[in-house]
Amino acid sequence: MTAVLEIAGLQKTYRSRKGVRRALDGFDMTVEAGQVHGFLGPNGSGKTTTLRTLLGLIRPNGGRMAILGREVPASLPEVAGQVGAIVESPQFFGNFTAQDTLSLLADAGGVRKERVVAVLELVGLRDRAKDRVKTYSLGMKQRLAVASALLKEPKLLILDEPANGLDPGGIREMRTLMRNLAESGMTVVLSSHILGEIQLICDSVTIISAGRRVAAGSVADVLKTHTSLSVKVALEPGVDMRNAIELLRANGAQVTVEHDHFTVGNAGNPAQITRILAEREIYVSELTPMSADLESVFLELTGTAPVEGQNRQVDQSAAAPAPASGGWGQ
Amino acid sequence: MSLYSAETRRLTKRRFTKLFLLGVTLILAAVAAGMFFTNEKAGPAQIASAQAQAQQDYQRSLEQFQRDQAACQAAQGTAQASNWPPGCEGMIEPTAEDFQAQWYMPPTFDFRESFPDMVTTLAALLAMVAFIVGASFVGAEWSSGGMMNLLLWRPQRLRVLGTKLAALLVFFTALTVVFSAVWTGLFYLIAQARGSSESMTSGAWQSIALMELRGLALVIVAGAVGFGLASLGRHTAMALGVTIGAVIVFQFGLGTVLSLASVKFAEAYLIPVWMIAWMDKEVKIEDYNSCDFSSASGCVPDSLTLTWPMAGGVLAAVFVVIVVASMWTMRSRDVT
């Protein structure tokens, strides 16, 4: 497979009176041709900065990037015709109609006029094409943004939160559209917080946290790497769960409390749980390995899982890569 | 070329552009209509009427003088004498020259004499519209996110901004040329119907054409400055804010401070004076606090003459500084 998008050691630093902030700190990413690739990260982790830098809107402080085998930003004008992108929320001039908006973009990019009608049909805006954009809902603006990205029949499609504002039907349509585009040979990079969606439609993912890559690979591989680490623990009825949780936490376990049970996220050796609890005469009634979903892997890798009694701040996320295997108790 | 035509379409499709063009057209139509209805052609009837009115006023004034003189004579030796000049001397008898018929003529539109003011009016209005439309053209693109969208399509920042500016300036050049031609034709017709165009020589036409050309330059610089300021601030309000700030600081603040400090030729620091110098070819500023005495003409104040090349230099410098600064920031600043 050939890489359509390659990023290596990307760095971006913002300097202000408050000091220096590293938005990207040696970030790496590779996307193979024909894939739907999920790009995940908590708020403020550097996702949008990466996409903006890749698309020439932000100047990087270091690292290298290539799109379709061409170094960017130097070759961006040559490859821009093959890259369709929306970055962050859709932004259009409100007093123009959708048709005018796309028609002006088509003019600016030298794209055939027939494409305007075709993409409006594709995203379901045909009947509202002559309405002013300011009368559109967020979901409709999102559809228009996707239409604008598809206008030039790109080889690489970069979509930042494309499902934002869409109704459930729209989300499903978007999912189908992404899959169809990938099947037609287009490579799609998808940034989203709807991790269930990413798990459903993406072939591969990159997870970013604090400006660095913390996981990458096919969705199956990323999930497999983290499957065995979490276990669900239930205690005998009537036993005070708080004592058990404090005991495990004191021994370094990452415990998440649920309604009638709790989970230990870094249980490399589940026997440790039973041993520690049994020593205090607390007996386990259920100990089940949990099959990880992308959401739990994401929360674990980025260190953004909610912790009882704590209010996590936006910039509080895991800076260093999480261990690929093993964990507490091993 | 495709980017250029897209930007021209974008500019002309904008409601803001259409509204301002409609507004300026209505104002210009009102000015032309006002000039048409307040002027009259000077024919034999108007001349006869003016002569009759002048004669009537002269007679009335003469009768009043005679009454006053008689009253003055009668008052001599009484307490009322203090109300009149001593010995009734110094009472000046009006003459027919004091009531010339030409002063009683209705206003008439002399094309050669009056049209230059109309050229300045047109240039000032179009310059204002060019400034605001130019600022909004790029400012609204920045604030709505349209500029970012465009850069995703054409990741050549200087080309995108330069093409936008070129589309704006070419549009306003064409608009000013068309408006100037229509404006000249309209006032020529007004002069024919309500005044005179007889004194127009080829030299006078040439002078008016050059004045209209200077008006075009003013419109272009105003458009570029509005565009450049809004691009620097990435918002329409930046251009309008700087303009309001400049008016307050330079026109009112600086003007007041300089006059309080009795600075020589304080008017030279005011923007409108330079604009008038540009349009009227020169402006003479006099310092009334000074006295350059000569036996022939007495006390003559010092003067400073601002000429159109000086004003042109200032306009060119403002144009270059603002356009270069906006291009430089476009090239170097991140688009966030």
Nearest to B145 among A76, A85, A91 (CB): A91
Selected residue with higher pLDDT from B1 and A49: A49
User: pLDDT value at position A324?
Assistant: 41
User: pLDDT value at position A87?
Assistant: 85
Which of B104, B119, B147 marks a domain boundary?
A: B104
Nearest to B6 among A94, A107, A152 (CB): A107
* Chain pair A-B, CB pairs under 8 angstroms: 75
3-state secondary structure B279-325: HHCEEEEEEEEEEEEECCCEEEEEEEEEEHHHHHHHHHHHHHHHHHH
Q: What is the mean pLDDT of residues A316-326?
A: 50
User: What are B46's two structure tokens?
Assistant: 């108007």
Set of chain A residues whose Cβ sits within 8 Å of the Cβ of B140: 93
User: pLDDT value at position B84?
Assistant: 85
| Cα of B331 to nearest chain A Cα, Å | 10
**Long-range residue pairs from B44-47, CB within 8 A, at least 24 positions apart, any chain:** B46/B105, B46/B106, B47/B101, B47/B105
Set of chain B residues whose Cβ sits within 8 Å of the Cβ of A77: 154-156
Nearest to B144 among A57, A77, A92 (CB): A92
User: pLDDT value at position A166?
Assistant: 79
Q: Are strands A187-191 and A156-160 parallel, antiparallel or unpaired?
A: parallel
Q: Is pLDDT of A306 > 70?
A: no
Confidence of residue A309 (pLDDT cuts 50, 70, 90): low
Domain match, B271 and B287 both? yes
Q: Is pLDDT of B232 > 90?
A: yes
| Cβ distance of B153 and A109 shorter than 8 Å | yes
Contact yes or no for B142/B234 (Cβ under 8 A)? yes
In our burial notation (b when 16+ CB lie closer than 10 A, e otherwise), range B233-257 reads bbbbebbbebbeeeeeeeeeebeee
Domain match, B154 and B67 both? no
Set of chain A residues whose Cβ sits within 8 Å of the Cβ of B14: 95
Set of chain A residues whose Cβ sits within 8 Å of the Cβ of B8: none
What percent of chain A has pLDDT above 90? Answer: 29
Which of B70, B104, B138 marks a domain boundary?
A: B104
Domain hosting B93: range is 44-104
Domain match, B216 and B233 both? yes
* Closest of B153, B189, B190, B162 to residue B39, by C-alpha: B190
Which residues touch B267 (CB under 8 Å, ≥6 apart)? Answer: B273, B285
pLDDT tens readout for residues B286-299: 877 777 777 777 77
pLDDT tens readout for residues A1-55: 688 999 999 999 988 888 888 889 999 999 999 899 999 888 888 888 999 999 9
Selected residue with higher pLDDT from A328 and B146: B146
Domain match, B67 and B161 both? no
Q: What is the mean pLDDT of residues A236-241?
A: 84
**Interatomic CA distance for residues A19 and A41, integer angstroms:** 23
Selected residue with higher pLDDT from A138 and B113: B113
Which of A:75-114 have CB within 8 Å of B?
Answer: 76-77, 80, 85, 87, 91-96, 100, 104-105, 107-110
The residue assigned the tokens 């399509």 is: B153
Q: Is pLDDT of A326 > 60?
A: no
pLDDT tens readout for residues B305-318: 999 999 999 999 99
Query: Which of A53, A104, A111, A141 is the mutation pick for testing B, counting most B CBs within 10 A?
Result: A104
Which of B69, B84, B104 marks a domain boundary?
A: B104
Selected residue with higher pLDDT from B292 and B239: B239
Q: Is pLDDT of B131 > 80?
A: yes
Query: Which of A68, A71, A91, A113 is the mutation pick for testing B, counting most B CBs within 10 A?
Result: A91
First vs last Cα of chain A: how many Å apart? 37
User: What are B283's two structure tokens?
Assistant: 């402006």
Selected residue with higher pLDDT from A157 and B290: A157
Give the alpha-carbon dihedral of B129, B133, B139, B145, to 10 degrees. 160
Confidence of residue A59 (pLDDT cuts 50, 70, 90): very high
Q: Are strands A262-264 and A255-257 parallel, antiparallel or unpaired?
A: antiparallel
A168 touches chain B (CB under 8 A): no
Confidence of residue A325 (pLDDT cuts 50, 70, 90): very low
| Phi, psi of A171, deg, nearest 5 | -65, -45
User: pLDDT value at position A328?
Assistant: 52
Confidence of residue B251 (pLDDT cuts 50, 70, 90): confident
In our burial notation (b when 16+ CB lie closer than 10 A, e otherwise), range A240-275 reads ebeebbebbeeeebbbbeeeeebbbbbbeebebbee
Q: Are strands A284-289 and A231-235 parallel, antiparallel or unpaired?
A: antiparallel
Domain match, B36 and B53 both? no
Domain match, B90 and B172 both? no
| Cα of B226 to nearest chain A Cα, Å | 20
Judged by phi (left if over 0) then psi (alpha if -120 to 50, else beta), residue A138 lies in: alpha
Confidence of residue A95 (pLDDT cuts 50, 70, 90): confident
Q: Is pLDDT of B163 > 90?
A: yes
Q: Is pLDDT of A144 > 60?
A: yes
Domains detected in chain A: 3-224 (3.40.50.300), 230-291 (3.30.70.980)
- Residues paired with residue B282 on neighbouring β-strands, in sequence order: B307
pLDDT tens readout for residues B266-283: 788 888 889 999 999 999
Domain match, B29 and B51 both? no
A52 touches chain B (CB under 8 A): yes
Domain match, B182 and B214 both? yes
pLDDT tens readout for residues A33-46: 989 999 988 888 88
User: pLDDT value at position B280?
Assistant: 93
Q: What is the mean pLDDT of chain A?
A: 84
- The percent of chain A in helix, strand and coil, each rounded to the nearest 5, is 35, 25, 40
**Interatomic CA distance for residues B61 and B38, integer angstroms:** 28
Domain match, B211 and B299 both? yes
pLDDT tens readout for residues B189-230: 999 999 888 888 999 999 999 999 999 999 999 999 999 999
User: pLDDT value at position A226?
Assistant: 65
Domain match, B75 and B17 both? no
Q: What is the mean pLDDT of residues A176-194?
A: 86
User: pLDDT value at position B213?
Assistant: 97
SS3 B33: helix
The residue assigned the tokens 């796309």 is: A102
User: pLDDT value at position B13?
Assistant: 92
Domain match, B116 and B8 both? yes
| Cα of A108 to nearest chain B Cα, Å | 4
* Number of domain units in chain B: 2
Domain match, B153 and B129 both? yes
**Interatomic CA distance for residues A218 and A248, integer angstroms:** 33
User: pLDDT value at position A310?
Assistant: 66
Q: Is pLDDT of A329 > 50?
A: no
Which residue of chain A comes nearest to B139, CA vs CA?
A93
Q: Is pLDDT of B25 > 80?
A: yes
Element (H, E) at A218: strand A212-218
pLDDT tens readout for residues A262-292: 988 777 788 889 999 998 888 899 988 776 6
